[in-house]
């Protein structure tokens, strides 16, 4: 009888160990899938590192720009007036014609918006630098080439990529368009990482 109980206990332990191993493999697969799914993390996640002075205080600079309030402007009286004049079927803050330039990731599946992503953050980091889920880790961000490899879009004044990025929205399609002076606008939003 003792042998039968011992055999049963060993069989139960092996069964539990095998089941636990399957759970571990399934959990690792889920983690791997989550870490390889590109999604928008939101400015709050970017701010963890980019609010520090030694990193360039990019968050502070961004908060002072019109980009930070781009979504909120769509809820203003002026936006209501413009939407009415344009004959938009929806309010400005719900219209694709407005959201495409006033919100980051306006046209992506909502499943690609991370937990901290907030549409009311307007035109935030990931509008220009791309969804941050794969490059947000500090050890990746410390290596510029690695961060680019992991999906960060670099923006350069020298090669014209910064101006091209700006002109995607700052153009004649905008009902409030004013001639765009890239050099002046760039000085207002420039937020480099300090050289060490």
How many Å apart are CA 28 and CA 15, to the nearest integer?
Answer: 20
For residue 7 the two structure tokens come to: 């055999």
For residue 15 the two structure tokens come to: 């069964």
- Among 106, 119, 100, 122, residue whose Cα is nearest residue 170: 100
How many Å apart are CA 121 and CA 43, to the nearest integer?
Answer: 7
User: 0.75 cut: is pTM over it?
Assistant: yes
* pLDDT, tens only, 139-163: 999 999 999 999 999 988 899 999 9
- Among 124, 158, 102, 140, residue whose Cα is nearest residue 46: 124
Highest mean pLDDT among 2-6, 25-29, 38-42: 38-42
How many Å apart are CA 161 and CA 171, to the nearest integer?
Answer: 16
* pLDDT, tens only, 72-116: 999 999 999 999 999 999 999 999 999 999 999 988 998 999 999
């Amino acid at each position: 009888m003792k042998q039968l109980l011992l055999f049963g206990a060993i069989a139960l332990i092996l069964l539990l160990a095998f089941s636990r191993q399957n759970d571990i493999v399934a959990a690792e697969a889920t983690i791997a899938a989550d870490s390889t799914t590109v999604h928008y993390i939101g400015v709050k996640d970017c701010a963890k590192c980019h609010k520090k002075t030694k990193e360039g205080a990019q968050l502070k600079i961004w908060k002072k720009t019109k980009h930070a309030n781009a979504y909120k402007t769509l809820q203003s009286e002026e936006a209501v007036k413009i939407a009415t004049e344009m004959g938009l079927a929806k309010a400005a803050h719900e219209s694709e014609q407005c959201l495409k330039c006033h919100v980051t990731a306006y046209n992506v599946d909502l499943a690609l918006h991370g937990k901290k992503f907030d549409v009311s953050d307007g035109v935030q980091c990931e509008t220009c630098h791309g969804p941050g889920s794969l490059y947000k880790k500090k050890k990746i961000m410390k290596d510029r080439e690695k961060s680019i490899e992991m999906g960060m879009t670099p923006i350069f004044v020298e090669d014209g990529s910064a101006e091209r990025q700006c002109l995607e929205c700052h153009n004649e399609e905008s009902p409030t368009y004013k001639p765009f002076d890239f050099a002046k606008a760039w000085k207002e939003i420039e937020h480099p990482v300090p050289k060490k």
